[in-house]
Amino acid sequence: MNRMQKIVSRAKQELEVNEKSRSGEVRSREKLESNLTKYEYTKTRVIPITGDTLKRNRIISMDKTDLRAVRFQMLRSKVLQQMRKKEWNTLGITAPTSGAGKSLISVNLACSIAMEGNQSVLLVDMDLRKPSVNKYFELAPEYGMHDIIEGNASIAKTLINPGIDRLTILPGVKGVLNSSEQISTPFVKELITSLKERYSDRIVIFDLPPALAGDDVMVFIPYIDCSLLVIESGSNKRHEIEDSLNLLKEKPVLGTVLNRADTAKDTFY
Amino acid sequence: MYEEDEVEPLPSNLLPTLNRFKWYIVAATPLLLLCSLVVILILPSIYRAPARVMVETQQIPSDLVQSTVTAAASEQIDVMRQRVMTRDNLLAIMNKYDYFGLSSASPLEINLTLEEFRGQVALNIVSTIKGRTKVAIGFLISFGSKDPAIAQAITNDLVSLFLSENVKARTERASETTEFLVAEAGKIRAELDQIEATVAEFKRTNKDNLPEHLGLYVEMREDTRKRINENERMINGYQEQIRSLTTQLTLVKEQNGGFGTNQSELVELKKQLRLLQLKYQPNHPDVLNLRDKINLIAGGGNSAGDLNSSSAAEIDLENQIAGLKDTVTILEKETSNERSKLEDLEQRIIKIPQVERGFVSIKRDYEAKSQQYETIVSKTQSAEMAESLEQERKAERFILLEPPVLPTTASQPNKKKLLLLAFGFSLGLPIGVVGLMGLLDNSVRSRRAVELIVGENPLIEIPYIEVPEDIVRRKKYMLYSSAGALAFVLCLITIVQVFVMPLDTVMYKTIEKFGMQGYFR
Ligand SMILES: Nc1ncnc2c1ncn2[C@@H]1O[C@H](COP(=O)(O)OP(=O)(O)OP(=O)(O)O)[C@@H](O)[C@H]1O
Ligand SMILES: [Mg+2]
């Protein structure tokens, strides 16, 4: 199935879903409203994470003594500069294949942005099939993203502050199999739009699933402002990168990050 | 996707891959080297005792005596090899030693052993560059065996076979040449004899018309002609005389019939005498004759002339006439003889040019053949000279320069070559494998590759983010892998000890195989 066919079938599915959920739409909207309203009055749960935990999980962008943090500061500056200029506040991070380091880079970038001083960040684990943000913080949250989508929990209940100023995370708990159906419900679109609007002073970073592993990313891309493509050195082929870029080009691509680069040491300055 | 062909290819991942796996290569190389060394050790040692045989060139300058064996030395050596390495020769050598165990071998085994034997004979031609061509100056021959003594003994046998074959072949060839030439000379001699016989026969059949007699014949012809002329003139003179005597006889006969006849006859005779005296000398027989006759007639007249005296004169005249006639007949016969002789001579002279032509052609054949004969005789002589040269071994020949000595170190496995090979293999294999991996890896690995695909550099490159746990893990990995390598080496040593040979033997063998005895004495 080539990409065009995928898009067509995707659109058809979407229509069907819309048809089916027309009656339930009002209910879901109400639910969302209540969720968002509740958030405003409820204090986000704080689960402090130690520096050791972060370090153990390769989150080094917070450590001022770690030279490797500089790389994430540079990434942060480049990303923020472009986003602020265009007044964007939602950023998706994806990669052609799984295991490329999307989650690691999302977490590190989020932490780095939070470190900047006057920028709040919301890190959302949008990888419904295989959520991993919680693992990076060694969290075992009660609710996750899919609970919100399924209507089992409110956003407020789900949000967690890992003890880092200006950083909030919306983790996942366990993977679901029907991730693409969930992501393509109009509710998700509403949810994302609301998040974007409500927290316009925040940068919202979405840790996305692999671009080529399913159609989640393709469906999700229209909801956000821009994206970053992580390339894993030594495991991504030319055509994979080209296909991913094609898929992302609906919204601006800020650039690429070459992860696990062997040449990185040499070019370090 | 049609533009795919125009897309610039990504940079090769060969070097990055080699760089990434360099420690693997460094680790794998000594292990492989160890394995190779064990294999080299297990390979059986082959001893060789090379003998050096030189080809000595003709000692007498070749422009004085040309050797009949002119093949290039290298070719000669090759031919010799074929002659020496025959089944019979080799089997004869092999039968001398129990080592090959031919006595109890089946025909198939014999064939196999023979093939193996052949394979172990090494013959290397040693040559130098002379001018622009390579000239063989000798050869090295050796036999490879696990037993050094056998190696030496067999090399010795082979060398003596080579040397004797060489002498045999060369003298054979030289005497063959001589024989051929002698036979050829004999053939030509026979032909020459035949031509000589033909010449003799020709001379015999044409002996009257030989050109060399031409001058003689011409002279003889002139003489004969002169003689004929003389005779004819004489015949004419005599006939004249006969006629006058006949007239005189008639007169005498008349006088006897009546007188006075004597007187007139006398006058007549005196007249004739005067004529003759004018023509001839006074003592010419004709003149004397006539004078006698006149005296006779005059005396008769004076004496009492009677019948008897007159008839005596008559008889005398008749006798004279008869004598002259006889003389003429003889002369005429002689003349006719001379004439036939002349005719014969003329005939001979006419035939001579024709004979001469045939004779010239025969003579030409003869001369050509005899020249041929002379050259072949001289060739035969020089061939005989060459043969004696070969027999006295003054010509190009093989000399044993260095006899084989009992080898003390194994020549095979060629330690230098094998070590080099093992080293190359041990280093080459991992490098090759890693290099192949790099060549086959078409993934994105560098800024440059990203730039080529995306159109701009990546925003940032993140290296491998190492955590203390990684270091612990790496240490563990290192520990395990070096333990594994150690275990491997121990296993290898155990296997060698148990299945191949005890370790002390290994040590001696290693020392011997790699020629390090010097360091341990
Ligand atoms: N630069 C890096 N240095 C060290 N380890 C890394 C690096 N990048 C990623 N990893 C490790 O690789 C594994 C996969 O990374 P990560 O989960 O971030 O990838 P992903 O793209 O989010 O994968 P998935 O598709 O499963 O979500 C993790 O264990 C992570 O710690
Ligand atoms: Mg992930």
CATH number of the domain to which B158 belongs: 3.30.1890
Q: Contacts of residue B450 in chain A, CB cutoff 8 Å?
A: 231, 241, 256, 258
Give dist(CA A188, CA A182) in Å, integer: 8
Query: Sheet containing A160-161: which strands, arranged edge to edge?
Result: A45-46, A160-161, A167-170, A120-125, A202-207, A90-94, A226-232, A253-259, B460-462
- Residue A32's domain spans which residues? 1-43
Give dist(CA A207, CA A131) in Å, integer: 9
> Does A269 map to a domain?
no
What would the two tokens of residue A183 be? 């992501």
Q: Model confidence over B167-208: pLDDT tens digits?
A: 777 777 778 888 888 888 889 889 889 988 988 888 888 887
Q: Contacts of residue B456 in chain A, CB cutoff 8 Å?
A: 255
The pLDDT score that the predictor gives to residue A37 is 47
Q: How many CA atoms within 13 Å lie on the side-chain side of B351?
A: 16
Give dist(CA B444, CA B438) in Å, integer: 12
Same domain, residue pair A168 and A212: yes
What would the two tokens of residue B125 be? 């031609």
Who among B444, B447, B459 is closest to A75 (CB)? B459
Give dist(CA B86, CA B155) in Å, integer: 15
Question: Into how many domains does chain B fold?
Answer: 3
Same domain, residue pair B334 and B430: no
Question: Into how many domains does chain A fold?
Answer: 2
Same domain, residue pair A132 and A184: yes
B151-161 mean pLDDT: 89
Residue B449 has pLDDT above 70, yes or no: yes
Q: B519: exposed, middle or buried (C-beta count within 10 Å: 0-12, 13-18, 19+)?
A: exposed
- The answer to which of A207-211, B56-60, B276-280, B386-390 has the lowest mean pLDDT is B56-60
Q: B158: exposed, middle or buried (C-beta count within 10 Å: 0-12, 13-18, 19+)?
A: buried
pTM of the entire predicted model: 0.59
Q: Does A256 touch chain B (CB under 8 A)?
A: yes
Shortest Cα distance, chain B CAs vs residue A105, angstroms: 9
Q: Do A260 and B464 touch (CB under 8 A)?
A: yes
From A57, A103, A232, mutation site for ligand 1 pocket: most ligand atoms within 8 A of C-beta: A103
Same domain, residue pair B232 and B344: yes
Same domain, residue pair B434 and B322: no
Q: Give the residues surrounding ligand 1 with Cβ less than 6 Å away.
A: A 58, 95, 98-104, 127, 130, 132, 210, 259-260; B 462, 464-465
Q: Does B463 touch chain A (CB under 8 A)?
A: yes
Closest residue in chain A to residue B458, using alpha carbons only? A256
Query: Are the C-beta atoms of A220 and A195 separated by less than 8 Å?
Result: no
The pLDDT score that the predictor gives to residue B40 is 80
Last residue in a domain, options A43, A59, A76: A43
- Neighbouring residues of A156: CB distance < 8 A, sequence distance ≥ 6: A35, A38, A39, A42, A44
Q: Model confidence over B460-501: pLDDT tens digits?
A: 999 999 888 999 999 999 999 999 999 999 998 888 878 777
Give dist(CA B329, CA B342) in Å, integer: 20
Which residue in B17, B104, B454, B424 sits closest to A230, CA to CA? B454
Distance A104 CA to ligand 1 centre (A): 6
Q: Model confidence over B396-446: pLDDT tens digits?
A: 677 888 888 888 777 766 777 888 999 999 999 999 999 999 999 999 999
Same domain, residue pair B433 and B479: yes
Q: Do B447 and A245 touch (CB under 8 A)?
A: no
Same domain, residue pair A50 and A21: no
For residues B43 and B391, which has the higher predicted lDDT (pLDDT)? B43
Same domain, residue pair A6 and A110: no
Same domain, residue pair B316 and B170: no
Same domain, residue pair A38 and A62: no
B153-172 mean pLDDT: 83
Q: Model confidence over B99-121: pLDDT tens digits?
A: 888 888 888 888 898 998 998 89
Same domain, residue pair B354 and B436: no
Which residue in B459, B351, B192 sits closest to A80, CA to CA? B459
Ligand 1, closest atom to CA B465? 3
Give dist(CA A123, CA A158) in Å, integer: 12
B333-342 mean pLDDT: 91
Q: Model confidence over A192-224: pLDDT tens digits?
A: 998 888 888 899 999 999 999 989 999 999 999
Same domain, residue pair B58 and B37: no
The pLDDT score that the predictor gives to residue B38 is 82
The answer to ipTM > 0.90 is no
User: What are the backbone dihedrals phi and psi of residue A68, each rounded to the nearest 5 degrees, phi first?
Assistant: -70, -20
Same domain, residue pair A8 and A63: no
Cis peptide, bond prior to residue B404, ω within 30 of zero: no
Distance A217 CA to ligand 1 centre (A): 18
B370-375 mean pLDDT: 89
Q: How many CB atoms lie within 10 A of CB B357?
A: 9
Give dist(CA A64, CA A75) in Å, integer: 15
Same domain, residue pair B217 and B361: yes
3-class SS at B313?
helix
> Does A268 map to a domain?
no
**Average pLDDT in chain B:** 82
Cβ density class B195-229: b for 16+ within 10 Å, e for less: beeeeeebeeebeebbeeeeeebeebbeebeebbe
CA-based radius of gyration for chain B:
63
Q: Contacts of residue B468 in chain A, CB cutoff 8 Å?
A: 55-56
Q: Does B118 touch chain A (CB under 8 A)?
A: no
Same domain, residue pair A76 and A200: yes
Give dist(CA B413, CA B324) in Å, integer: 133
Q: Do B20 and A262 touch (CB under 8 A)?
A: yes
Same domain, residue pair B65 and B39: no
Which residue in B96, B366, B341 sits closest to B228, CA to CA? B341
Q: Model confidence over B222-243: pLDDT tens digits?
A: 999 999 999 999 999 999 989 9
The series of mean pLDDT values per 10 residues for chain A, 269 residues long, is 55 50 49 51 79 92 86 94 94 96 96 91 94 94 92 90 92 90 90 87 94 92 95 94 95 95 56
Nearest CA to ligand 1 atom 25: A98
Who among A56, A58, A264 is closest to B461 (CB)? A264
From chain B residues 384-443, the ones with a CB under 8 A of any chain A CB are: 441-443
Same domain, residue pair B72 and B104: yes
Residue B276 has pLDDT above 70, yes or no: yes
> Does A124 map to a domain?
yes
3-class SS at A232?
strand
Closest residue in chain B to residue A55, using alpha carbons only? B467
Give the model's confidence band at B297: pLDDT under 50 very low, under 70 low, under 90 confident, else very high.
confident
Same domain, residue pair B155 and B24: no
Which candidate in A75, A257, A262 is best for mutational testing of the B interface (most B CBs within 10 A)? Answer: A262
Nearest CA to ligand 1 atom 16: A101
What would the two tokens of residue B154 be? 């067999």
Who among A235, A242, A260 is closest to B462 (CB)? A260
Which residue in A109, A50, A140, A129 sits closest to A228, CA to CA? A109
Same domain, residue pair B96 and B141: yes
Q: Do B10 and A238 touch (CB under 8 A)?
A: yes
What would the two tokens of residue B43 be? 């390979």
Give dist(CA B305, CA A163) in Å, integer: 224
Residue B304 has pLDDT above 90, yes or no: no
Q: Contacts of residue B445 in chain A, CB cutoff 8 Å?
A: 233-234, 261-263
> Does A123 map to a domain?
yes
- Residue B298's domain spans which residues? 209-378
